[in-house]
Amino acid sequence: MQRIGIIADNHSRAADGSDMPQAVLDAFKDVHLIVHVGDAGSWGALDRLATVAPVVGVEGGHNGETPDARIAGTKRVIDAGALRAGIVHDLVRHKLTTESNPKLAPVEPDFAASLARFFGEDIDLLLYAGTHVARIGQAGGIFLVNPGSPTLPADRPKGSLGTVAVLEVDGGIATARVIELWR
């Protein structure tokens, strides 16, 4: 079984990533890989995450100031066990949906085909962000995971900790859970 920590929208401002809450690192203590789905802010946040597990990710609108080898542009596809996971920060910006919160509204009726064209291959899982609200669901036969935001959740009082997600893939079966950091 592969366990993947998923984080997005932390918008780190500290160059060394010291503003990444310890609760995030604790939530990811047993993962094999961490995927950052954009808006990391300072790349120091990635360094802090890398103390727990290897990190890969994509850009959002709020990125580090220099290129980082762990970040592969605005989209990428990775192996997640026996499945393929497409990763993109903002579905609306890339014209894949007309909205992604509170509901997901794909631009095209065949969402899976739209995603395959966008990523250049079929995917089984979609990791996306930009809403600052966690969501796990399914659309067009694709399993969807949005981890929300650990530091700027849109569905919590200002200053509250939010959420991250953990994806578990065992063979060709994926499950995910949202981890509440504010409790």
pLDDT digits (tens, 9 = 90+) for 138-168: 999 999 999 999 999 999 998 899 999 999 9
Contacts of 144 (CB under 8 A, 6+ apart): 104, 125, 126, 128, 135, 136, 137, 138
Q: What is residue 71's DSSP assignment?
A: B
Mean predicted lDDT score pLDDT of the chain: 96
pLDDT digits (tens, 9 = 90+) for 1-39: 999 999 999 999 999 999 999 999 999 999 999 999 999
pLDDT digits (tens, 9 = 90+) for 43-81: 999 999 999 999 999 999 888 889 999 999 999 999 999
* pTM of the entire predicted model: 0.97
Gap between the Cα atoms of 73 and 130, Å rounded: 15
pLDDT digits (tens, 9 = 90+) for 68-117: 999 999 999 999 999 999 999 999 999 999 999 989 999 999 999 999 99
Do the strands 33-36 and 2-7 form a parallel or antiparallel pair, or are they unpaired? parallel
Q: List, in sequence order, every residue forming a beta bridge with 145; answer none if it has no partner.
A: 127, 136
By C-alpha distance, which of 76, 83, 110, 84 is closest to 96? 110
Q: What's the pLDDT band for 183 if we cut at 50, 70, 90?
A: low
Q: List, in sequence order, every residue forming a beta bridge with 85; answer none if it has no partner.
A: 78, 125
pLDDT for residue 91: 98
CATH number for the region 2-180 comes to 3.60.21.10
